[in-house]
C-alpha cells in the first residue's frame, strides 16, 4: 500500500514533466512565429544574503526586456510555470534539470504572446518593461526551508526567491511603476495568487496594479474514482517545502484545520484585494489528465481514447467533463459575480497556457469568445475599456480552439 501510494504520487510529478516537455514545448517549436525576441538572463546576486537559492543551490534568475515610449514606467512580471516536486526524490531529480537549477536553463528566453515587444501581436503591453521570473524552487515560489541531512542538501526557498527578484528590480524602475501586472502560467499562474497582494505593497500607492492567472486555477476537485488526488499532492508539496507560513494569512486562519488548502486558488481568491483576471480553459488539459483522471484513478486506461481525442469520448465521459467545467465556473464566482474590478475568460478548449504564445494570445486564428481574443479580453479588463467577463458555451460549441490534444498521445503510457 505504501509502495503504491508512493508510485502514484511519483507518476503524477513525472506525468506533469512529460506533459509540459512533450506537449506544450513541442507545440511551440512547431508553431509559426514571426521574428523572435531573445532576452538575456540576469542572475540575482543579492539572493545570497537570504539563501534564496534554486533547489540545487544555484542563484535564481529573471529575464528583463526594457520598456520604451509610453510604456517606459509600466511593468509586467510573469512567473514561469512547470509543475511541482512533492518529495525528496522528485525534488532531487528536479534539481538536476532546468526546473530546479539555473545552471541547466537556457540563458536566452523567447518572449512571445503577452511578453512580445511587437505591437501587432501584443498591442497593450508590447512597450512595457517585461520580466520573466524563472522557476526553480518546485513549489510555485512559496517554500521557505532547507533540507540538509549531511549528505544531501535541497533549498526550498521559493518565497525568498520572489522577494530577492523583487528587491533586484525595484531600483531598476519597478519601484516607480505607474502601471503593473503580475502574471504567470500553470504553476506560475498559481504563484500569482500567492504573491498578488504582496506585489501591490511594493509599488507606489497611486500605481495601477493588477494580477492575471493563466491556467493556474487548479481545482480542489475529486477525480473519477472520487479520490482527492490533487489535494493530497498539493498537501505534500506544501508540507515538504514549509509553504503554509507564506500562504494568505486571512485564508489560513479561516481554514485553520486545513491551512494547506489555501494553496488552492479557489479558497484564497476571496481574500485577495488586488483586481484579478482568471484565464483558464474549462477543460484545461493538465487538470483533465491529472486532477480529474489521474492515472491512479483509471488504472485500466479506460479514458485513454478520450484523453487523446475529445471526439472519441463516450457520452458518459463528456458528462464527467461537463461536471468539471461546472465546478470551475462555480469556483470562479467570486470574480464572475461578485467582483466589479475582476475579469474572466473561460473558454471551452482543451488547452493549457494561452497567454504565452501568439497562436493563442492574439493571432488571426486564436481562440475567441464572441469574437474577442484573449489579448483583447485582458487588455479591455486591464485598461477598463470594457466589461471583460466571458465564459464560453460547453464543448463542442467553440470552433476557435487550438486544442493540444493532437500531440497528447505521447503522454499516455
**Half-sphere exposure for 9 (CA within 13 Å, toward CB):** 21
Q: Please, what is the minimum distance in Å from the beta carbon of residue 85 to ligand NAG? A: 13
Distances 222 to 117, 230, 313 between C-alpha atoms, Å:
41, 8, 19
Q: Please, what is the minimum distance in Å from the beta carbon of residue 90 to ligand NAG? A: 11
Cell of 412: 499516455
284 is catalytic: yes
Signed CA dihedral, 255, 259, 262, 264: sign only: negative
The whole-angstrom separation of Cα 230 and Cα 246 is 20
Identified binder of ligand NAG from the candidate list 2, 30, 150, 340, rule CB under 6 A: 150
352 is catalytic: yes
Cell of 213: 492567472
Backbone φ and ψ for 303, nearest 5 degrees, come out as -90, -5
Q: Which is nearer to ligand NAG, 308 or 368 (CB)?
A: 368
List the interface residues with ligand NAG, window 169-228 (CB under 6 A). 178, 198, 201-202, 204, 206-207, 227
| 384 Ramachandran zone, left/alpha/beta (phi>0; psi -120 to 50) | left
Examine residue 51 and tell whether it contacts ligand NAG (CB under 6 A).
Answer: no
Name the residue whose CB lies closest to ligand NAG: 5
Q: Please, what is the minimum distance in Å from the beta carbon of residue 275 to ligand NAG? A: 12
From the list 352, 359, 380, 392, the catalytic residue is 352
Binding residues with ligand NAG: total (CB under 6 A) = 32
Stretch that binds ligand NAG, among 150-158, 314-322, 327-335, 396-404 (CB under 6 A): 150-158
From the list 58, 186, 366, 388, the catalytic residue is 186
Q: Cis omega before residue 330 (within 30°)?
A: no
Cell of 345: 475568460
Q: Cis omega before residue 396 (within 30°)?
A: yes
The whole-angstrom separation of Cα 212 and Cα 181 is 7
CA-based Rg of the chain, rounded to a whole angstrom? 20
Examine residue 371 and tell whether it contacts ligand NAG (CB under 6 A).
Answer: yes
Q: Could you please report the per-residue DSSP string of 308-332?
A: H-GGG--HHHHHHHHHHHHHHHHHT
309 is catalytic: no
Identified binder of ligand NAG from the candidate list 86, 101, 140, 229, rule CB under 6 A: 229
Examine residue 319 and tell whether it contacts ligand NAG (CB under 6 A).
Answer: no
Cell of 6: 508512493
Those residues whose C-beta lies under 8 Å from the C-beta of residue 226, and which sit 6 or more positions away, are none
Q: Please, what is the minimum distance in Å from the beta carbon of residue 142 to ligand NAG? A: 10
Examine residue 152 and tell whether it contacts ligand NAG (CB under 6 A).
Answer: yes
Stretch that binds ligand NAG, among 98-106, 118-126, 300-308, 402-410 (CB under 6 A): 118-126
List the interface residues with ligand NAG, window 246-305 (CB under 6 A). 250, 271, 273, 296
Examine residue 118 and tell whether it contacts ligand NAG (CB under 6 A).
Answer: yes
Q: Which of 201, 207, 267, 204 is closest to 231 using CA atoms? A: 267
The catalytic residues are 186, 284, 352
Binding site for ligand NAG (CB under 6 A): 5, 8-9, 34-35, 40, 88, 118, 120-121, 149-152, 163, 178, 198, 201-202, 204, 206-207, 227, 229, 232, 250, 271, 273, 296, 371, 385-386
Amino acid at each position: 500500500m505504501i509502495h503504491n501510494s508512493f508510485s502514484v504520487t511519483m507518476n503524477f510529478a513525472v506525468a506533469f514533466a512529460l506533459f509540459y516537455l512533450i506537449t506544450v514545448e513541442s507545440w511551440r517549436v512547431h508553431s509559426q512565429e514571426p521574428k523572435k525576441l531573445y532576452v538575456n538572463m540576469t542572475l540575482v546576486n543579492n539572493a545570497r544574503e537570504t539563501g534564496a537559492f534554486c533547489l540545487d543551490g544555484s542563484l535564481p534568475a529573471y529575464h528583463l526586456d526594457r520598456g520604451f515610449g509610453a510604456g517606459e514606467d509600466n511593468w509586467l512580471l510573469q512567473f514561469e510555470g512547470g509543475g511541482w516536486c512533492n518529495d525528496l526524490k522528485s525534488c532531487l531529480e528536479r534539481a538536476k534539470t532546468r526546473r530546479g537549477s539555473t545552471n541547466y536553463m537556457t540563458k536566452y528566453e523567447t518572449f512571445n504572446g503577452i511578453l512580445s515587444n511587437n505591437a501587432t501581436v501584443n498591442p497593450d503591453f508590447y512597450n512595457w518593461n517585461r520580466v520573466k521570473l524563472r522557476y526553480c524552487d518546485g513549489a510555485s515560489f512559496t517554500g521557505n526551508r532547507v533540507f540538509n541531512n549531511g549528505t544531501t542538501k535541497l533549498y526550498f526557498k521559493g518565497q525568498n526567491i520572489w522577494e530577492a527578484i523583487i528587491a533586484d528590480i525595484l531600483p531598476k524602475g519597478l519601484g516607480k511603476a505607474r502601471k503593473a501586472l503580475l502574471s504567470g502560467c500553470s504553476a506560475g499562474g498559481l504563484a500569482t495568487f500567492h504573491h498578488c497582494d504582496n506585489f501591490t505593497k511594493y509599488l507606489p500607492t497611486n500605481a495601477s496594479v493588477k494580477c492575471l492567472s493563466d491556467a493556474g486555477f487548479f481545482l480542489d476537485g475529486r477525480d473519477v474514482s472520487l479520490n482527492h488526488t490533487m489535494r493530497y499532492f498539493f498537501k505534500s508539496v506544501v508540507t515538504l517545502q514549509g509553504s503554509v507560513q507564506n500562504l494568505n494569512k486571512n485564508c489560513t486562519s479561516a481554514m485553520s484545520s486545513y491551512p494547506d488548502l489555501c494553496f488552492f486558488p479557489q479558497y484564497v481568491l476571496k481574500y485577495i484585494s488586488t483586481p484579478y483576471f482568471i484565464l483558464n480553459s474549462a477543460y484545461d488539459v493538465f487538470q483533465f489528465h491529472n486532477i480529474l483522471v489521474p492515472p491512479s484513478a483509471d488504472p485500466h486506461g479506460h479514458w485513454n481514447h478520450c484523453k487523446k481525442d475529445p471526439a472519441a469520448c463516450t457520452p458518459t465521459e463528456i458528462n464527467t467533463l461537463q461536471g468539471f467545467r461546472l465546478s470551475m465556473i462555480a469556483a470562479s464566482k467570486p470574480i464572475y459575480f461578485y467582483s466589479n474590478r475582476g475579469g474572466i475568460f473561460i473558454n471551452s478548449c482543451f488547452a493549457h497556457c494561452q497567454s504565452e504564445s501568439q497562436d493563442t494570445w492574439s493571432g488571426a486564428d486564436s481562440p475567441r469568445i464572441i469574437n474577442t481574443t484573449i489579448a483583447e479580453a485582458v487588455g479591455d479588463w486591464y485598461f477598463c475599456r470594457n466589461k471583460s467577463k466571458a465564459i464560453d458555451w460547453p464543448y463542442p460549441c467553440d470552433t476557435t480552439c487550438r486544442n493540444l490534444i493532437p500531440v497528447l498521445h505521447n503522454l499516455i503510457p
